[in-house]
Structure 1
Amino acid sequence: MISIKGLNKIFKSSSGDVTAVEDLNISIPKGEIFGVIGYSGAGKSTLIRLLNRLEEPTSGEVIIDDQDVTKLSTNKLREARQDIAMIFQHFNLLWSRTVRENIAFPLEIAKVSKQEREKRVDELIHLVGLSGREDAYPSQLSGGQKQRVGIARALANNPKVLLCDEATSALDPETTDSILDLLVDINEKLGLTIILITHEMHVIRKICHQVAVMEHGRVVEQGDVLDVFLHPQQPVTKRFVDQIMGDRDEEDALSTIVSQHDSGKVLRLHFVGEKTNQALISEIAKRFPVAVNILHGKITQTKKGAYGTLIVHIDGSSEAIQEAIHYIEETSVEVEVTSDVS
């Protein structure tokens, strides 16, 4: 559906060239929710503006539905942009227009008849959950309602791709979740491909199928969200995963247990999918002459399934501990020996 090949963006200034995006290569399947995550200055917002040529690329290709957007003339680009909608962090609504009039605006530009406009606007108001607020002005809406108007307006011309540039960053956590749920609903009902830019791993975890991690203008890691959670390779990715799975209490527990015991091992267990429901600890205690002390645990949900970590201290003879570890590994639960207590 979307193929990004060798994409580069260099900003020239009197103080020297600045490379915002460098040699990006990404493939995004049709109908997926694809997340791009990075800290401030990583180049993610520049990337999303390159996809619809709000920024002109220095080099490279952006192919959407077999059409290279970077090579389109001005008129052809205007047509293509009807298939590439965008929503923004700060909503970008027309403050002198009502909800209905804001949503109708792109249809007016496209010269859609009044009767068809009204029908389409009614459909969109219902889709985004704004029934009863049609005649309200943006100043009378909450942040979440404003973003729902922005989403409805973006969908007016039945786009194939929806670009979301930090679309939930200005919202509180509860409202963020409601907007994310709406995006999932739209993705499933309309088969819309969604590209979502964010600096929050919670957003990626909750709704994305795949993720690309950006740093200093480059994609340093990408793949299925669950795989990235399980096996983060780069330091920046590990920091993002720690937003969801990390906890200072974990390190405190580890240091405390090491100082209070003179034998055994501290293990970090990684559970995926149905394995998160296994009664593994009680089985170990029944089968082997070891003592197991749970130090810390956490489970989170991704689009591809649950992912959990459990940190335990296991004590007993060296042979019994090794047998218990081997048993755990046979259940397909990943085992990491964090430390030997000695």
Structure 2
Amino acid sequence: MISIEGLSKIFTADKQKLTAVDNLTLDIKDGEIFGVIGYSGAGKSTFVRLLNRLEEPTGGRVVIDKQEITSLNSRKLRLARQEIGMIFQHFNLLWSRTVKDNIAFPLEIAGIAKAEREQRVQELIDLVGLSGRENAYPSQLSGGQKQRVGIARALANRPKVLLCDEATSALDPETTNAILDLLVDINQKLGLTIILITHEMHVIRKICNQVAVMEKGKIVEQGDVLDVFLRPKQPVTRKFVQQVMGSSEEDDDLQLLMSTYKQGKIVRLHFIGETTNQALISQLAKKYAVDINILQGKITQTRAGAYGTLFVQMDGKAEEMNKAIQYITDETSVEVEVIRDAN
């Protein structure tokens, strides 16, 4: 659906050159929610604005649905942009227009007849959950409602792609979750490809299929969200995963666990996907003569499935404990690691 090859953007200020996007190559599948995450200054917002040429690229090409956006003249680019919706962090609404007039604005520009325009606006108001607020002005809306207007306006011309530039950064956590749920609903109902720019791993975890991590204008890591969460390779990715899992304190926790529980083995169990629902602990207790004490753990949901870590103390005869660990290794998809063996 979207093919990006060698995309670059270099800004020049005070005779100094700044490379915001550096030779970026990426493919995004039709109908998926693709997340791009990075800290401030990573180049992610510049990247997303290059896709619809709100910023002109210094080099490279962008192809969306077999059309090379980077080679279009001004007239063809205006038409192509009708198929690329965009929502922004600070909503960018027209404050002198009502909700329905904000949503109708891109339809007016496209020359859509009034009757068809009004029908489309009402469809979108219902879709984003703003029924009853049609005649309100932006100043009368909450942050979440303003973003719903922004989403509806971005969908007005039935785009194939929706670009979201920090769309939830100005919202509180509860409203953020509601907007993310709305984006998933839109993705499923309309089959829309969504590119989501954010600095919050919670957003990626909740709704994205794929994620690319940006640092200094480059993509330093990319893959399925679940895989990236489970096995982050780059330091910047590990920092983002810690936002959700809190694993930065894990070393301290392990030292405390090992000093508190001095007998038997301390084992870390890593659950992935459906295995998070397995009654593994009770199975082990029934099969083998071992005592199992759950010390701590956490399970996190991603759109691709759940994953989590559980620390347990296992006590009993060495032979029985080894059998239990071998059973986990051979008969389940749970990853097991012996952290400490006091036998």
Give the stretch that moved more between structures: 157-166 or 240-249.
Answer: 240-249
Cα distance in structure 1, aligned partners of 2:233 and 2:338: 18
- Structure 2 equivalent of residue 332 of structure 1: 333
Cα distance in structure 1, aligned partners of 2:329 and 2:24: 37
Q: Tell me, which stretches of 5 or more residues in structure 2 are unaligned?
A: none
Q: Tell me, which stretches of 5 or more residues in structure 1 are unaligned?
A: none
Residues 281-321 of structure 1 show CA distances to partners (whole Å, capped at 9, x for unaligned) of 12223333433222211112211112121122334454443
- Structure 2 equivalent of residue 286 of structure 1: 286
Cα distance in structure 1, aligned partners of 2:42 and 2:318: 47
| Residues 116-195 of structure 1 mapped to structure 2, 5 A cutoff | 116-195=116-195
Using the size of structure 1 for normalisation, the TM-score is: 0.95
Q: Give the 3-state SS of the residue equivalent to 1:12 in structure 2.
A: strand
Please say if 1:306 is aligned against 2:311: no
Per-residue deviation, 1:341: 5.4
CA pair 11-138 structure 1, distance change in 2 beyond 3 A: same
Root-mean-square deviation (CA, aligned residues, Å) is: 1.7
CA pair 71-250 structure 1, distance change in 2 beyond 3 A: same
Q: Give the 3-state SS of the residue equivalent to 2:87 in structure 1.
A: strand
The amino acid of 2:193's aligned partner reads T
Cα distance in structure 2, aligned partners of 1:123 and 1:284: 54
Give the stretch that moved more between structures: 326-335 or 254-263.
Answer: 254-263
Cα distance in structure 2, aligned partners of 1:71 and 1:60: 10
- Structure 1 equivalent of residue 6 of structure 2: 6
8 Å CA contact 2:242–2:248 kept in 1: the answer is no
The amino acid of 1:89's aligned partner reads Q
Please say if 1:98 is aligned against 2:98: yes
Cα distance in structure 2, aligned partners of 1:112 and 1:175: 32
Cα distance in structure 1, aligned partners of 2:238 and 2:265: 24
- Structure 2 equivalent of residue 79 of structure 1: 79
| Residues 11-50 of structure 1 mapped to structure 2, 5 A cutoff | 11-14=11-14, 16-50=16-50
8 Å CA contact 1:253–1:296 kept in 2: the answer is no
Please say if 1:271 is aligned against 2:282: no
8 Å CA contact 2:261–2:313 kept in 1: the answer is no
Per-residue deviation, 1:258: 1.5
Count of residue correspondences: 342
- Structure 1 equivalent of residue 295 of structure 2: 295
8 Å CA contact 1:138–1:146 kept in 2: the answer is yes
Residues 65-88 of structure 1 show CA distances to partners (whole Å, capped at 9, x for unaligned) of 111111111111111111111000
Per-residue deviation, 1:91: 0.2
Per-residue deviation, 1:242: 1.6
Q: Give the 3-state SS of the residue equivalent to 2:16 in structure 1.
A: coil
Using the size of structure 2 for normalisation, the TM-score is: 0.95
